[in-house]
Structure 1
């Protein structure tokens, strides 16, 4: 197994663990050839720990598959997890395995310190030589993106791509007096129940639609402009239909709406987005006409 293939296997298995898909995770381990390396064995043990922690009574089929992998030495796990699995399956073999691992761990703990030896030094008395054990920790790392980082926990980034992150930074730099918001809900700035020219399907879409970026006036919260980062993904007929619905909803607001498509989205820099915003966006924005005093609007209500 070459290094690139190993990295792909690790990515795939970690993705399955993040989704708690034990079925595909176990199938991948059972079909793995040649035998997994140490870090993959530890990853299999992590899957067992997640299975035991997520449910008080884990599924028997998955439990039996993990038990078979443990007994075949295809995965490694803490003795506490193996003992709990042994209790659940009433397995003597797993109990013996947990006891063996526990005894091995205890032998390492109870090893006494190495007595220092003495080595004569020319022209002086004996000098103590301290022997130490060398511990080496090996960790395999591979290049990933935000998706793999988000897979390690519940919270995730507000950006769904590197392009969104770079664009919002340029948007904030180009309009420092305004507030740039990423992935903002459409129904937060559009009163969908007041739009009479849309059908029920478009209305349902609008309630779940998000905008790639929105410029608003700080404190007042009035939207100034809406931005959508376009790509080849939007050329698919299904996505083109959703874009048409989004266009009709935003057209009802009268807000400036910009669809921006970069030839190489991942290679666009902040400076390049800044230049594009200056040349193509700024001339079409009327910032002064949108500023109003919310305090007066709240207190003075037409009769």
Structure 2
């Protein structure tokens, strides 16, 4: 008999968790129609009525629709009102009063007045100045205990499993060469952060480059191009060096033109920029890339002056 009771509790918790995830997903998409449909099922309604979190989640939907500046459908508001009167929705008195005035329903007005009266009788925390605390008061009595309430909303837009099978999600690496190279880069420079396929305009302020050699086409290209890898200082985010992995495709006329524009932009800011080409890119191992970084990159890269705390630099350099 006890086993049956435990099974019922497990099933109930599963139903609650599934319903909570579904409601959160619909709320994230602001789909009030389906959100209300999920609440109005008799089984779901009983589950929500017994659970404070689900009641608050239902109230979050009402708060969102009442505070939006967009036109509100009266039918949706009436459905929220019916759910509140059925004990499914939990909202502050201010929101309930606004709903009552919009729908002109006396039962909601009475419920709002009752909520206002209830909120008025609840104790409120007040700040206490240290100078006003009597010496006769014990230290434990002068401590105000505050409970931090944190709301966490998980937003899942679409079915994560389906998005994987349909190929919507993809790796940040565009080739096996990029994956292997980034691994070697992280091992060779463990004190720095290696980032793959990073936007150029995230590390270069293109609007501040005054070089006359940079025309409009080059600037526009810079706002949309990416670098195969970037080394940055972890805590500060300052770039230390940029890398491009060339291949036979870079010998095509269009690719060479884009490479020249990228070289011009990086050269204008003085950031160390390395173009690396392997004879057989797909067969390069992490150890081979590591050796190449040690032999060809490290002698030309001096990260010492760049690896500093920005806060220390602010104290040393007049602002």
TM bucket normalised to smaller = 0.3 to 0.5
TM-score, normalising length from structure 2? 0.45
